[in-house]
Structures are given as structure tokens and as C-alpha cells.
Structure 1
């Protein structure tokens, strides 16, 4: 797990890499330069620094991919940003055009304890106002109900692996279900399909265009799930 204070500049780079390559796809220097509004030469120098820190794998003239450590940091800051956007939009009713920039300013100082409190207050949201998936927390829970039942934040244990939800996966991918987000009704619907913590998942099919369904193999059984379920079933890969 990543330790210590990470600079805001580094977090911004890792966040953009995650946004464009959450499955550890290679993100080009040109793409990073465009999104960060930074000269390509400066981006290249930062990528070399990030590689020395162990956060990325950098290939000259091609781009960068996140390492497991870089993924952990990127998911964490992305989660805080998107939860803050949800809070600013749904609770504070901030103007739509101002939400992103305000979330950017707040995400670097939001503590893990405050992030958890916001998530609970918002009833564990799965999407930000732009309909981007909110990554899972890195607390070692199987479900949100376990989180609700633990009152003292100091008793929380951090997860030792990075998770991706089904809708973030590339095909083919295999892994185990490690976290299921949502209320009791959604958990019951998922359980009715034979999906539970520890289930083996094979995602081998491309989601049809405009389809609201994902096709999986769960413990050797073919299963079709909705996009909502796919956004809330997380696997360790």
C-alpha cells in the first residue's frame, strides 16, 4: 500500500492516467499533455520521475501505464474527486459548470474518514454526475453494510489489493469477487444470480453497443447482469 504524503501534482498525473487507462492501458504522452495542458517535454520529465517512484511503467515515445502502487493512489484520488462531485451536485446544488474545478481543489485535502462519511451520507453512490463510475473504497469490507456497522474509523483495516468493477474490465479478464457495493435490495438481486464474495469471474465477452447487459461466467455458469450490477461488483485481478 502507498504510504506518506503524495504531492498534488503527482496525484493529478496519476488521476489522468487512471481516467484513460484504468485497466493499465498505455496512455500516450500527447493525451496527458492535452488533458493536463502541459507541454509534452514537461510531461515526459514527470513520467520519468513517476517511473523512478514506482508508480508507472514508462515507454519512450509511446506513453505510460500504471503499476499496482500507482493504481492504488490513482483510484483513491479519483474516488474522492467523484464523491465530492456527487456531494457538490446533489447536496450543495453547486452550478454544474463549477463542480469539476471545485472537486479538484477539495480532493487533495479530503481525509479518508471524511470520504467515508460522505459516502455513507450519499448512500454509497456508484456514479458521479457525469455518469463515470466511482471506484471502490480501499477499506477491507465485503459490502457497504459491513462499513455501516463499524462505528470507529480507527478500527478500519485497509485492503491489500486493487479492485475494478465489472464495467471497468477489458475482455478477457479473470478474477474473484471481493466487494459488492449497494443496498440490501441490490445485494439480494446479485445473490439471486449466484454471485457472492469469492465467486470466480470470467469476463470474456464484449458488451454489445447500447446494451444494458454484461455477459459473464460465474463459477462456470453463464450469467447476464445489468450495467448497474456491473458498476457495483468489484473483483481483484
Structure 2
């Protein structure tokens, strides 16, 4: 699948050497040169969440992230070569699903993993060759260049401690009413992070969630207008990032909206 390069004059210019558009709040992996936008980080976190829900090893996430980076730059595109759409540029005409389905990141990641696990030796095979077995791209070697980036990002998304992925969110980007956004957060958490409970004050709690789910929440903070993510002695805010807060020790993952 070949992604058509359609860049409108008003669009942000993609900086290939850095992997992120300029002038946008983003996420970095400390100790590496990996920098992505919050949109890309959220999509990557969703892909990683789908892999975790299926009990797949980290290698599956690495392959999926490298593939999505090549196909769409980890953006959920509503255009592409011929009828290719979404993160993985899957084609409805080729049996990947409906247009709406392949533009649903959870669905599209699931379809990619459906194909991945059918590839003999995918766990140890060369990344670009394994990805090509699933994607059937016109540029089969292109996936390989993204393996270092995908490996670093996977490590950050699956880390069992805070601050493995450092994100900043643009304040005031979620004008929808709090009640509406709370419902969206709860639904997204149900699909990607665990069973949510909406408390009387609107806080969304996800019992049994770990640090990968907390990182998932941080990557989605801009999308949902989260003002605070709290878990087990740590608190994240867009202004400060993660900081130790002993008063919240042993609290489950909690997401707060303004």
C-alpha cells in the first residue's frame, strides 16, 4: 500500500529528520532522539494497548509501530493511495473492513495483528519482511528504517514506571462539555485500558491498571482535555509532567477532566 502524499498549504510541514510536525506539543522518549506529536503518541499507545489485550509480546508492537509509521506516519488518515485509509492504510476493497472500520485505530490495529500472527516466524523474522507479508506494499524494504524508532517507542509505552514517555499537551484544546468528554474517556478506556468507573465528581478510575495504561492516558490527555492523571504516588499534569506525590500512594489510575 502506498500512501499518497497530499499536503495542503495550511497543513503543518512534516520534518522527516525528526519525525514530527513543527510547532506542536509532543512526546519524547528520554535517552533517545524519538519525538512524536501527541496525536502520533496517542495512536501508538492505542496500537500497543491492542497488542497487550491480545497477550502479544513487545515485538508485535515494534513491528506494528514501524509499519504504521511508514504507512501513515502514525496518523489516522482519511485518504491514501487508491482506497487506502487509516493508520495502516488498509484498503476496504481488499477485504480489510469498511471505510469506518479501517479508520478506527482499535479495529485497524486488531486487523494488522490478525495478519501478523499468521506469518511464520514473525517473532524473530526481519521486521520489514514480516511487515510486508501482512501489508503487501509496493515498497517492501521501507518498513525497516523505522525499527529503531519503533523499538524505543515500544519500550516507553510498555514501561512499568512513570516518565518513560514525556508528553506536553496544549491547554484548552478540548472545548466540548466535561460530561461529553467524560463519556468519551470512559468508552476509550473500556476499549483500550481496562474497565472504567466514573466517580460522582467525574473522575474516571481504572482499577487494576498499570503504568502502560497510565502512559496511555497521558498520550490521550490532549484529545480528551485531561487535566490530571494520578496513580500510586505519582501525578501527571500538562504543565509539569510526572511528579512524585506520596499523598496519592496506592491510589488506582485516575483521570481527571477540567
TM-score, normalization: structure 2? 0.32
Q: TM-score, normalised by structure 1?
A: 0.34
Q: Which has the higher contact order (CA 8 A, sep 6+)?
A: 2
